[in-house]
């Protein structure tokens, strides 16, 4: 059974999708052992508590720089004996010292079809605002391994979602979450826990 540590910063609907998938048996050979939040008081922490999952708060604002913050998060990940780390709406870009310690063992869900609308500065609603500004007819979500390049790691799963003429960033975000993120993330996590993901030459193959 693999230990899954989930990193959050906000509402935690993706964390909820993982908890629901765990409870309905969709995630095979893994369980969420700890939730780590970069902010105190966020709703994601309540979601964890409601389901008896332990949590830690490591506030970004308590650390003077990203290196010391990344080291604190890495220490917690190692203490929790994490086999997999999932960024589920985690809004801090950690230093590469974390990636180096957990190569191809960290995954992120991003609310667009990478390489569109991604990279530094593209997070949360901003991603959907930019998609609407550009006028794309399709957007979606991507689950990828985390590397030292922001949103640049090997792609595990992607799903396209239609953009409607009357979409606002909020309505588009909701559709992308419902139709793509909440389905893709539990699926990718289960594939990892079942040892079915193989990374070769920056590409992910599903065995």
Cite the active site residues: 110
Q: Judged by CB under 6 A, does residue 152 bind ligand GAR?
A: no
Is the Cβ of residue 2 or residue 110 nearer to ligand GAR in the bound state? 110
**Residues paired with residue 198 on neighbouring β-strands, in sequence order:** 205
Q: Judged by CB under 6 A, does residue 88 bind ligand GAR?
A: yes
Q: How far apart are CA 66 and CA 117, in angstroms?
A: 24
Please report, as residue ranges, which positions from 8 to 27 form the binding site for ligand GAR (by CB under 6 A).
10-14
Q: How far apart are CA 180 and CA 111, in angstroms?
A: 9
Q: Judged by CB under 6 A, does residue 110 bind ligand GAR?
A: yes
Q: Judged by CB under 6 A, does residue 109 bind ligand GAR?
A: yes
Smallest distance from the beta carbon of 207 to ligand GAR, in angstroms?
Answer: 26
Helix (H/G/I), strand (E/B), else coil: 107: strand
Q: How many residues bind ligand GAR (CB under 6 A)?
A: 15
Q: Judged by CB under 6 A, does residue 181 bind ligand GAR?
A: yes
Q: How far apart are CA 148 and CA 98, in angstroms?
A: 9
Query: Mind giving me the DSSP string for 31-75?
Result: EEEEEEESSTT-HHHHHHHHTT--EEE--GGGSSSHHHHHHHHHH
Smallest distance from the beta carbon of 200 to ligand GAR, in angstroms?
Answer: 25
> Which residues form the interface with ligand GAR (CB under 6 A)?
10-14, 88-89, 109-111, 123-124, 127, 177, 181
């Amino acid at each position: 059974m693999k230990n899954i540590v989930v990193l959050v910063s906000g509402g935690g609907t993706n964390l909820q999708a993982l908890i629901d998938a765990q409870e309905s048996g969709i995630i095979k050979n893994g369980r969420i052992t700890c939730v780590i939040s970069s902010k105190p008081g966020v709703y994601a922490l309540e979601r964890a508590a409601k389901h008896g999952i332990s949590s830690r708060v490591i506030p970004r604002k308590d650390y003077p720089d990203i290196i010391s913050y990344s080291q604190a998060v890495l220490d917690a990940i190692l203490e929790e004996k994490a086999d997999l780390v999932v960024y589920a709406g985690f809004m801090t870009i950690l230093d590469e010292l974390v990636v180096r310690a957990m190569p191809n063992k960290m995954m992120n869900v991003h609310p667009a079809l990478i390489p569109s609308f991604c990279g530094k500065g593209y997070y949360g609603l901003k991603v959907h605002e930019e998609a609407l500004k550009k006028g794309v007819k399709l957007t979606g979500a991507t689950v990828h391994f985390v590397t030292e390049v922001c949103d640049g790691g090997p792609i595990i799963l992607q799903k396209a979602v239609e953009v409607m003429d009357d979409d606002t960033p909020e309505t588009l975000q909701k559709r992308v979450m419902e139709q793509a993120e909440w389905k893709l993330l539990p699926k990718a996590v289960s594939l990892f826990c079942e040892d079915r993901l193989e990374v070769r030459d920056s590409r992910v193959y599903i065995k």
